[in-house]
Amino acid sequence: MHGKDLLSIGQMSVEEFESVLELALKVKSNPDDYEHALPQMTMAMIFEKPSLRTRVSFEAGMTQLGGHAIYLGPNDISLGKRESVPDIARTLDGMVDIIMARVFQNESVLTLAEYASVPVINGLCNLHHPCQALADFQTILEKKGSLKGLKLAFLGDGNNVAHSLLEAGAKSGTSVTIVCPPGYEPNKEIFEQAEAEGAKTGAKMLVTNDVKEGVKGVDAIYTDVWASMGQEKEAEERKKIFAPYQVNSEVMKMADKEAIFMHCLPAHRGEEVTDEVVESWQSVVFEEAENRMHAEKAVILKLMIKDID
C-alpha cells in the first residue's frame, strides 16, 4: 500500500485489508513501538463537514506516530469555491506528506488523489466511509476472534457507512445484510461489486425490507442516523419512514444471543436506537470510536512506510 491512496475499501485487495487490521491490532497493543515512526511528517486534514471522531482520531493518531496534523476547516479552504480542488491538491502536495479529506462528494476525494502525488485518505464522502469500516471490523475481530463466516445486519439508510460495510464484509468473508425501507437501498453498483467479491470469500450480501429476516441469528447489528449531514430537510419525513427499523431490545433478541451492537456515532438516542441498547452489555460503540484512531494509524503507516509491520 506504500504510496497509494485509500479512497474506498473496495479498491483494497483482500491481503491489504487483512494487513491493515493486523497492524491496527499491533499499534493498539504496542503504541510505543510506533511513536517515532513519522518524525517531522505532516498531514493536511481537509474538512467540509465537522466531526468529533474523524478530527480527533487523525490528529491524535499523527501526533502519536511522531508527526503533525493541520486542521483545514470549511472557512480555511472552501473546497472548490474559493479555489479549485486540483489547485488545492497541488498546493498541499508541495507542503505536506499526506492528505485526509472529509467531504460531501466522492468526486472531491478522487480529484484530490488525481492531482496530489502524496497519499490521500478518504475520511468520509457521500459514497464511502472506509476508515470507519476498518475500525468496525477491527472491533468485530477483537470481540469475535475471527471474521470469516460471521453475519452482520445493518439497519437504516443504504448510505456511505452501509457501502463500506458491504465492501469490508466481502473482503473478510463476513456476510452483510442491509435492512432498509423500500427506496433506501444501497448503491446498486457498489452492492453488486461486493456481492461478486463476497462470492470468492464466502460472504453473502443481501438487501431486505424485512427486519426479522435481516437480523435473525446475526452476530452483529449495526445502525446509523436516519438523516446524515446535508439531509436535514428530510429529517422529519425520514423519522416516519425509518421508525420500524429502530434497533431496540426486541430487535436485539432476534439476533444471536452473543450478538454485539454497533454504531458509527453520533447516535440519536430514541430514534435509530434506544438508549437501553446503547448502554447495554452488547454495545461496543465506544470501542469502535477508539478503534478509529488505531485503524487510521495503521492506514497512515501502510501508506507512508514501505514494508511496515
Q: What is the mean pLDDT of residues 191-205?
A: 98
Name residues whose C-beta falls within 8 Å of residue 101's C-beta, 6 or more positions apart in sequence: 45, 46, 47, 48, 108, 109, 112, 120, 121, 122, 123, 125
Phi, psi (deg, nearest 5) at residue 241: -70, -40
Q: Is 129 a catalytic residue?
A: yes
Given 53, 64, 132, 263, the catalytic residue: 132
Given 55, 102, 238, 294, the catalytic residue: 102
Given 53, 55, 163, 292, the catalytic residue: 292
**Residue among 47, 97, 41 nearest 72 (CA):** 47
| Burial annotation 54-79 (CB, 10 A radius, 16+ → b, else e) | bbebbbebbebbebbbeebeeeebeb
Q: Is 2 a catalytic residue?
A: no
Q: What is the mean pLDDT of residues 102-124?
A: 97
Asked if 175 and 169 count as a contact pair (C-beta separation under 8 A), the reply is yes
Q: Is 264 a catalytic residue?
A: yes
* The pLDDT value given to residue 229: 65
Given 131, 180, 264, 294, the catalytic residue: 264
Q: Where are the beta strands (DSSP E) in 67-191?
A: 68-72, 98-102, 120-124, 151-155, 175-179
Q: What is the mean pLDDT of residues 182-200?
A: 98
Phi, psi (deg, nearest 5) at residue 16: -65, -40
For residue 230, what pLDDT band results from cuts at 50, 70 and 90?
Answer: low
Name residues whose C-beta falls within 8 Å of residue 160's C-beta, 6 or more positions apart in sequence: 124, 125, 126, 127, 128, 129, 228
* The pLDDT value given to residue 224: 97
Residue reference for cell 466481502: 170
Q: Is 69 helix (H, G, I), strand (E, B) or coil?
A: strand
Question: Lowest-pLDDT range, 81-85, 109-113, 215-219?
Answer: 81-85
* The pLDDT value given to residue 81: 83
Given 224, 238, 263, 282, the catalytic residue: 224
Residue reference for cell 427486519: 211
Q: Is 282 a catalytic residue?
A: no
- What span, in angstroms and rounded, lies between the C-alpha atoms of 69 and 141? 29
pLDDT tens sequence across 3-52: 999 999 999 999 999 999 999 999 999 999 999 999 999 999 999 988 99
Q: Domains (ranges, CATH) in the chain? A: 14-129+292-304 (3.40.50.1370), 132-288 (3.40.50.1370)
For residue 142, what pLDDT band results from cuts at 50, 70 and 90?
Answer: very high
Percentage of the chain beyond pLDDT 70 is 99
- Average pLDDT across the chain, whole number: 96
Given 53, 129, 163, 238, the catalytic residue: 129
Q: Is 102 a catalytic residue?
A: yes
What is the number of alpha carbons within 13 Å of residue 271 lying toward its C-beta? Answer: 19
- Examine the pLDDT at 232 and tell me if it is beyond 80: no
**Residue among 181, 172, 247, 179 nearest 202 (CA):** 172
- Examine the pLDDT at 231 and tell me if it is beyond 80: no
